[in-house]
Chain A
């Protein structure tokens, strides 16, 4: 079976007007995302993440190189049928309600009738915009709600691949955690998720594999497990160890030829602390 997304020496230059030359946004990107993977595109601002995504969708034409989606050439209808896309800072026709938005995108994907209506209900529940919330116009939505409505819209055609450009930008921690859980749930259903972000803690929690881009070039690529695990070290977290026994433990470790690299009370992550501080109903 072909890879979910495959690019070969994908390159994009933007002409900047007659005398100002061109901007090189992406420089020969090779990338392969397997089906069922959660894949992170990382990189600072302007590193080419969005450009790569838009070429995978066929919204931008590559200057050279090629991209394929499930074996179909990027930009063809067959390729786009496989992808649901959530752009960065998305703008939606804001006079529509949440449900109307998903219906509009469903109809744009050629869906209709009771199949579509059923799908809309399902999705609104899934992104927790069921009931009254789904019937309000989008201009009354918070940033987090908008993002979730956009996600529902991206998923309407039940695509194999979800392409999410900074899905958690501007969303509060509880909201980001929801989006993260949703990504994990999608992976559980066998979907492929490709997302970009520069919020690294979040990437760490969900991505199987990442690429790090910088000024349009690929710096690093690999499984998070391989990239981040310090294979030479071993960590044990214990509770109730007395001050006096610590010294003894150090001695024991030294005797066995181990070197203590780090030691002390571990700190909780701010995100977890923040979420714990909120009242129960705000956390989920």
Chain B
């Protein structure tokens, strides 16, 4: 048990350090930060709209950057290591292959966590800055000042950050799964993007299909069920949009989505480990 933890953390920290030293990830982070900072120059319209825009853009920046980091990171993890053959000197050690997979995933998850954290802080910083600007300009009326503050310091944004984080963690787990099957980086990226798209479309498609009034055959039902089981439902994370739109989202539903994500990640990593166990290196 102790040994297992040690081995997993060795793989995880090595993965994280290796990623940190790659320029791509630094470039992506800078890209995200520039995008967030740029949103600050949008000064038309009412302050509500300005804040909404800031949050929207911040969310988009974090999602996009995180998605790219997850895709690139995961496709480097196993296919990359096999290509560079560094994997041989790791897998010949007395460690289980599942420990290797879990370690790799955790290294990537920590990387994603750090990036999301830094960008979330940046969004927070820009929101604070905007608040100061707006209060100085329009906040002579205490009621307006209070309203501005409420928009800028919405505690529900924490829920949104948590949700973005777990959504990206699920995407990374999907990518790690494909990287255990694949020999090529491109395959991993393409398959993960496909799952990402299907994951967003599936519930819409299912509702359309079921509500169209046509007789749904058993075969079709089975197919839908299979897709629903195999592909994570990314629409669950639409809670984030609710939060940004200023709607009430209780912690309970946030935590339910987090729980769903954790289950999915566990399933994906288990499947990845099973596939990887029998693979020739």
Interaction A to B:
yes
Q: How many angstroms from the CA of A57 to the CA of B88 in the assembled complex?
A: 10
Q: Are A83 and B92 touching (Cβ within 8 A)? A: yes
Give the residues from 96 to 137 in chain A that come closer than 8 angstroms, CB to CB, to chain B: 96, 104-105, 107-112
From 73 to 115 in chain A, residues with beta carbon under 8 angstroms from any chain B beta carbon are 77-78, 80-81, 83, 85, 87, 89-93, 95-96, 104-105, 107-112
Contact present for A150 and B89 (CB under 8 Å): yes
| Distance (whole angstroms) from the CB of B213 to the closest CB of chain A | 44
Number of residues on chain B facing chain A (CB within 8 A)? 27
> Are B95 and A108 touching (Cβ within 8 A)?
yes
Docked Cα-Cα span, A93 to B18, in Å, equals: 8
A152 to chain B, nearest CB (A): 12
B102 to chain A, nearest CB (A): 13
User: A77 near B94 (CB under 8 angstroms)?
Assistant: yes
The reply to whether B17 and A87 form a contact with Cβ atoms under 8 Å apart is no
Q: Chain A residues near B91 (CB, 8 Å)?
A: 59
Shortest A105–chain B CB gap in Å is 6
Report yes or no: A110 in contact with B89, Cβ–Cβ below 8 A.
no
The answer to whether B94 touches A61 (Cβ under 8 A) is no
Q: Complex formed: what's the CA distance from A91 to B86 in Å?
A: 5
- Measured between beta carbons, the chain A residues less than 8 angstroms from B94 are 77-78, 80-81, 109-110, 157
Q: Of A60, A104, A105, A157, which contacts B281 at CB under 8 A?
A: A60
Which residues of chain A have C-beta atoms less than 8 A from B2's C-beta?
A: 110
Given contacts A80-B94, A108-B95, A112-B6, contact A87 B280 (CB under 8 A): no
**Hey, which chain A residues are within 8 Å of B92, CB to CB?**
57, 59, 80, 83, 85, 87
> Contacts A77-B96, A95-B18, A110-B95 given: A90-B10 contact, CB under 8 Å?
no
A49 at the interface (CB under 8 A from B): no
Q: In the complex the two chains form, what is the Cα distance from A43 to B187 in whole Å? A: 36
B84 proximal to A (CB < 8 A): yes
Q: Which residues of A contact B89 (CB under 8 A)?
A: 85, 87, 90-92, 105, 150, 153
Contact B14 A110 (CB under 8 A): no
Known A59-B92, A80-B94, A107-B10; contact A90-B85, beta-carbon cutoff 8 A: yes
Best-surrounded residue of B10, B18, B94 (most CB of chain A within 10 A): B94
- Which A residues are CB-close (under 8 A) to B18? 93, 95
How far is B89's CA from A80's CA once the two chains are assembled, in angstroms? Answer: 12
Tell me whether A54 is interfacial, beta carbon within 8 Å. Answer: yes
User: Number of residue pairs across A and B with beta carbons under 8 Å?
Assistant: 77
Please determine whether A59 and B281 come into contact, CB atoms closer than 8 angstroms: yes
Given A91-B84, A91-B86, A108-B11: A80 and B93 within 8 A (CB)? yes
> Can you list, as one digit per residue, whether each of B95-122 has a CB less than 8 Å from chain A (1) or not (0)?
1100000000000000000000000000
Would you give the shortest CB distance from B82 to chain A, in whole angstroms?
11
Chain B residue at minimal CB-CB distance from A156? B93
B93 CB contact (under 8 Å) in A78, A91, A108 = A108
Enumerate chain A residues within 8 angstroms of B14, measured Cβ to Cβ.
93, 96, 104
Interfacial chain B residues near A80, Cβ < 8 Å: 92-94
When the two chains form their complex, are residues B90 and A61 in contact, meaning their CB atoms are under 8 A apart? no
Q: Which one, B4, B11, B86, B281, contacts A92 given CB within 8 A?
A: B86
Interchain CA distance A57-B91 in the complex, whole Å: 9
Q: CB within 8 A of B7: which of A57, A89, A90, A107?
A: A107
Q: Which residue of B lies closest to A77 (CB)?
A: B94
Cα-based distance from A60 to B96 in the complex (angstroms): 15
Q: A57-B92, A77-B94, A109-B93 are in contact. Are A104 and B85 (CB under 8 A)?
A: no
B84 to chain A, nearest CB (A): 5
Besides the known contacts A83-B92, A109-B95, A157-B93, 6 further A-B residue pairs in the complex with CB atoms under 8 A apart? A59-B281, A77-B95, A87-B88, A90-B88, A108-B95, A110-B95
9 interchain pairs, CB-CB under 8 A: A60-B280, A85-B88, A90-B85, A92-B86, A93-B18, A96-B14, A104-B10, A107-B6, A109-B7
> Which residues of chain A have a CB within 8 Å of any CB of chain B?
14, 54, 57, 59-61, 77-78, 80-81, 83, 85, 87, 89-93, 95-96, 104-105, 107-112, 150, 153, 157
